[in-house]
């Protein structure tokens, strides 16, 4: 999920702190991508150069990233940060917005900042606090999407503690809240938002406890479709698109408070193809979104090794669809189960082409560390298809899938795993010549201190550098 299921459910916290980076040599002029052998945690490939680190400012999970012009937007469970990345080697935090609520999935469109809240709150306002006890099921409680004004955030004074406090332009209540969302800019003054959420945990309009009295499906079984006015986001409508009845229930996890569910996690929109690739927990799906308000199933896949269909991506040429599996029941990505990989499919019919697991074993001082593919996007090149992916304890991986039947890792940054340092890389994306990552959380010794935050890398191979691509913005779930 963009929130790590295994950690959230097990209650574990991974480690990630700012640490020294081994010296690396620049490859000779003209060197192209090649496989970098590495079998133990720690270190980086010669073509992956660490340029900057911005430690986090609060002891909360760090989550997804979005980009608009010279700004990077880093979501977290405390709200979000805005960083000026005009000089990628020296990013500067210019705003740290305080508005708590899991999980901080974030997107940006012009002046609008969209933030997901997948946690039942006592009310919709920032500072309402997380609901507890019977209030979690109370109809007056709230969860959903918050929409902020970028210009208002930038003009609001910062408090003495370093945080900026203001209220959203609007709050959009959604059944089961908002775990992740995807913007679909359909033109004019309209913005369509596909909202993914679960009934894994119960809420006011979510789960089996009061489903009959409230008239909703106890396993959820739908995505939210929000149509929003860009000029006046208070003008919005919410409808729900019911998932295909054949979509199976997902219930790998059992225990108090965990419900069976039928839902999607992450949705990748390809505006040029009018298609969406949806990672829907128990299966991967491709939808026709030529009518953006009414997605239609085109094909589905369910590989037996996949534990949780988490994320999705189209190749730059549109020929391949990649689904990411987030491990749920295992501890590490090299246990032989085949879980936690990237899965490559032919876009036209869903035929499986290959899967890919990081070749770098992840075993720390306390035993196997949590290692799983998570979030990823394409690196534009002139020579082939390449993506960059976050891989939790395995850090950041660059994968060449020009031949989608034979994907291979061609670069990595894997922070050293010791008693005092561990990574938990949540998001990794290419944007305008650099790779930006957000490190989820960390445990450092008994004090459970946190620090890693956002890292910036330069990938030096000519395969990437030859593209000359410049983007005005990037919401990674939109191609």
pLDDT tens digit sequence for 252-310: 887 777 899 999 999 999 999 999 999 999 999 999 999 999 999 999 999 999 999 99
Indicate the average pLDDT of the chain: 86
- Identify the three-state secondary structure at position 174: coil
Determine the pLDDT at residue 13. Answer: 25
Per-residue pLDDT of 94-120, as tens digits, reads 999 999 999 999 999 999 999 999 999
Angstrom distance (rounded) from CA 19 to CA 29: 29
Mean pLDDT of 113-132: 96
Instruction: Assess whether pLDDT exceeds 60 at residue 3.
Output: no
CA gap 425, 413 in Å, rounded: 10
Order of all β-strands in the sheet with 142-149: 103-109, 112-121, 142-149, 170-173
User: pLDDT of 131-160, one tens digit each?
Assistant: 999 999 999 999 999 999 999 999 999 999
Calpha distance 342→389 (Å, rounded): 9
* Coil, helix or strand at residue 291: coil
Rounded distance between C-alpha atoms, residue 201 and residue 119, angstroms: 9
Cα–Cα distance for residue pair 328/339, rounded to 1 Å = 9
pLDDT tens figures, 426-447: 999 999 999 999 987 654 444 4
Domain boundaries, the chain: 5-59+188-474
pLDDT above 90 as % of the chain: 71
Residue from 87, 89, 91, 83 nearest 67 by CA: 83
Judged by average pLDDT, the poorest of 24-38, 78-92, 136-150, 176-190 is 24-38
**Residue 48 pLDDT level (bands cut at 50, 70, 90):** very high
CATH class of the domain defined by 5-59+188-474: mainly beta
Per-residue pLDDT tens for 313-327? 999 999 999 999 999
Q: Please report the pLDDT score of residue 381 as a whole number.
A: 87
Of residues 467, 363, 457, 376, the one with CA closest to residue 412: 457
Bigger pLDDT: 415 vs 302: 302
State residue 311's pLDDT score: 98
Cα–Cα distance measured from residue 262 to residue 254, given in angstroms and rounded to the nearest whole number: 15
SS3 242: strand
Residue among 23, 60, 152, 49 nearest 449 (CA): 60
Please state the rounded mean pLDDT for residues 370-387. Answer: 92
CB 325 within 8 A of CB 338: no
- Calpha distance 306→322 (Å, rounded): 13
- Confidence (pLDDT) at 10: 34
């Amino acid at each position: 999920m963009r929130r790590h299921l295994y950690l959230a459910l097990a209650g574990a916290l991974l480690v990630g702190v700012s640490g020294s980076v081994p010296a690396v040599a620049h490859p000779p002029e003209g060197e192209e991508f090649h496989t970098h052998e590495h079998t133990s945690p720690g270190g980086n490939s010669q073509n992956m150069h660490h340029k900057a680190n911005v430690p986090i400012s609060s002891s909360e999970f760090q989550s997804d990233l979005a980009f608009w012009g010279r700004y990077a937007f880093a979501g977290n469970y405390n709200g979000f940060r805005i960083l000026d990345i005009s000089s990628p080697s020296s990013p500067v935090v210019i705003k740290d917005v305080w508005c708590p609520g899991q999980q901080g999935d974030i997107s940006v469109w012009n002046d609008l900042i969209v933030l997901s809240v997948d946690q039942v709150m006592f009310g919709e306002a920032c500072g309402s606090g997380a609901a507890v006890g019977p209030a979690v099921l109370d109809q007056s409680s709230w969860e959903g999407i918050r929409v902020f004004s970028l210009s208002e955030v930038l003009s609001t004074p910062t408090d003495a503690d370093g945080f900026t406090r203001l209220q959203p332009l609007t709050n959009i209540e959604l059944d089961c809240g908002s775990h992740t969302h995807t913007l679909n800019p359909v033109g004019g003054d309209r913005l369509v938002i596909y909202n993914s959420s679960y009934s894994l945990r119960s809420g006011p309009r979510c789960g089996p406890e009061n489903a009959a009295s409230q008239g909703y499906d106890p396993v959820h079984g739908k995505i939210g479709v929000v149509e929003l006015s860009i000029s006046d986001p208070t003008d919005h409508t919410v409808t729900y698109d019911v998932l295909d009845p054949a979509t199976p229930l997902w219930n790998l996890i059992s225990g108090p408070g965990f419900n069976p569910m039928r839902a999607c996690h992450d949705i990748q929109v390809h505006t040029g193809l009018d298609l969406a690739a949806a990672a829907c927990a128990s299966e991967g799906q491709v939808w026709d979104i030529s009518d953006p308000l009414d997605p239609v199933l085109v094909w589905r896949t369910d590989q037996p090794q996949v534990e949780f269909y988490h994320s999705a991506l189209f190749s730059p040429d549109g020929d391949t669809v990649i689904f990411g599996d987030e491990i749920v029941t295992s501890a590490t990505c090299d246990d032989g189960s085949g879980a936690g990989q990237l899965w490559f499919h032919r876009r036209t019919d869903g035929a499986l082409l290959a899967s890919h697991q990081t070749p770098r074993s992840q075993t720390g001082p306390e035993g196997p560390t949590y290692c799983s593919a998570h979030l990823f996007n394409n690196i534009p090149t002139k020579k082939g298809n390449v993506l960059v992916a976050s891989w939790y304890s395995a850090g950041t991986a660059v994968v060449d899938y020009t031949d989608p039947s034979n994907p291979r890792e061609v670069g990595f940054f894997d922070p050293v795993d010791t008693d005092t340092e561990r990574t938990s890389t949540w998001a990794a994306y290419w944007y305008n010549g650099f790779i930006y990552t957000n490190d989820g959380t960390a445990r450092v010794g008994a004090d459970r201190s946190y620090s890693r935050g956002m890292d910036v890398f330069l990938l030096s191979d000519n395969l990437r550098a030859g593209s000359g691509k410049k983007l005005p913005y990037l919401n990674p779930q939109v191609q």
